[in-house]
Amino acid sequence: MAPMLQSSQQWVEKYRPRQVKDVAHQDEVVRVLTNTLETTNCPHMLFYGPPGIGKTTTALAIAHQLFGPELYKSRVLELNASDDRGINVVRTKIKDFAAIAVGSAQRQGGYPCPPYKIIILDEADSMTEDAQNALRRTMETYSKVTRFFFICNYISRIIEPLASRCAKFRFKPITEEIMSSRILHICKEEGLNLDAEALSTLSYISQGDLRRAITYLQGATRLFGSSISSNDLISVSGVIPQDVVEALFTACRSGDFDLANKEVNKIIAEGYPVSLLLSQIFDVVVEAEDISDEQKARICKRLAEADKCLVDGADEYLQLLNVASHVMLALCNMPEELNYES
């Protein structure tokens, strides 16, 4: 990379591991792939797990380590959701690449260069079922000379016939301990000061997503300089302050619909993301000691339904108002109308 660009690099990219052994916390896959580097044996792979925990990183690293910079272009095809991967592309581009014959194994410039090519299908959960079906044949026909790496967040979006042909690896959210050690490493490199409280806040707010943790850290550094406190991190993370959640609860307890409606309007005007708010409400409800199990169940059921509606693209205000209304009915032990069920 040109030196001039170095400085405009984002930290997430700057600290992306280049070698499989540097990928943190995903021990199982690291072990298997380290083995691959020695034996050059490699099955089709399927990596799945939530965002920002090293899936893409691992796939790119192994491909680079197997082939080195010289052969990379001719041996690795990386397609992600930003590429058209409709059924046509599967039948043409992917098939053509898969069909190319490659010479026998020959170490080149210190790289193992095994006798196959790798096709990385990143973000594969966005491929249509038809396109996935069209892949089945290609995978089988050319399995001698081509290995497929599928990467996705939701394994359920990968059709069974594809999934069953792969060695599956579930990538785990990064634990607090590992996250802290990665973050401390970056802090050392960048000359930052982070106390223990800030460190644990950072892992809490990023919920196992290392990319998010690094982005927050970089944001906080720009805003607050090289000494970063727990509060600085909270303010860049967009976590909803606890008193906002409390205020909504208090309004619901009052049993006054208009009061709750006003609180909901306020939350929407402040721009707090409702999906996040729902999960924070959930935390409060589950831990509350003065709410009975039945009340908790009523509330949680509604939270789940609202969450699904939001995923479908429903309106944030209406969903939150409806949640507030149900929380109020539950807390005040008012019956729900039976005919609510459509």
Partner 1 sequence: MLWVDKYRPKTLDQVIVHQDIALNLKKLVTEQDCPHLLFYGSSGSGKKTLIMALLRQVFGPGAEKVKVENRTWKIDAGSRTIDLELTTLSSANHVELSPSDVGFQDRYIVQEIIKEMAKNRPIDTKGKRGYKVLVLNEVDKLSREAQHSLRRTMEKYSTSCRLILCCNSSSKVIEAIRSRCLNVRINAPTEEQIVKVLEFIGKKEGLQLPSGFAARIAEKSNRSLRRAILSFETCRVQQYPFTSNQAIPPMDWEEYVSEIASDIMKEQSPKRLFQVRGKLYELLTNCIPPEIVLKRLLYELLKRLDAELKHEICHWAAYYEHRMRLGQKAIFHLEAFVAKFMSIYKGFLITTFG
Ligand X SMILES: Nc1ncnc2c1ncn2[C@@H]1O[C@H](COP(=O)(O)OP(=O)(O)OP(=O)(O)O)[C@@H](O)[C@H]1O
Residues that bind ligand X (CB under 6 A): 12-13, 15-17, 23-26, 51-57, 153, 182, 210-211, 214
Task: Specify the 3-state DSSP secondary structure of 72.
Answer: helix
Angle (deg, nearest 10), helices 257-270 and 274-287: 130
- Residue 72 as a binder of partner 1 (CB under 8 A): the answer is no
Query: Interior CA angle at 5 toward 4 and 6, to 5°?
Result: 95
49 vs 114 by CB, closer to partner 1: 49
Applying CB under 8 A, which part among 27-35, 97-105, 242-250, 321-329 lies near partner 1? 321-329
> Do 306 and 319 meet the contact criterion of CB atoms below 8 Å apart?
yes
Least distance from partner 1 to the Cβ atom of residue 271, Å? 4
Least distance from partner 1 to the Cβ atom of residue 313, Å? 5
Q: Which residues contact 273 (CB under 8 A, 6 or more apart)?
A: 238, 240, 316
When binding is defined by CB under 8 A, the residue of 25, 117, 211, 298 that contacts partner 1 is 211
Q: Which does 232 bind (CB under 5 to 8 A by kind): Mg ion, ligand X, partner 1, none?
A: none
> Do 214 and 11 meet the contact criterion of CB atoms below 8 Å apart?
yes
Q: Which does 226 bind (CB under 5 to 8 A by kind): ligand X, partner 1, Mg ion, none?
A: none
> Do 147 and 117 meet the contact criterion of CB atoms below 8 Å apart?
yes
When binding is defined by CB under 5 A, the residue of 26, 36, 56, 295 that contacts Mg ion is 56
> Do 138 and 94 meet the contact criterion of CB atoms below 8 Å apart?
yes
Task: Work out the burial of residue 235: count CB atoms within 10 Å of its CB; fewer than 13 is exposed, 13-18 middle, 19 or more buried.
Answer: middle
Least distance from ligand X to the Cβ atom of residue 85, Å? 15
Q: Which does 276 bind (CB under 5 to 8 A by kind): Mg ion, ligand X, partner 1, none?
A: partner 1
When binding is defined by CB under 8 A, the residue of 165, 212, 253, 296 that contacts partner 1 is 212
Relative to beta strand 193-194, strand 76-79 is unpaired
Applying CB under 8 A, which part among 69-77, 176-184, 195-203, 213-221 lies near partner 1? 213-221
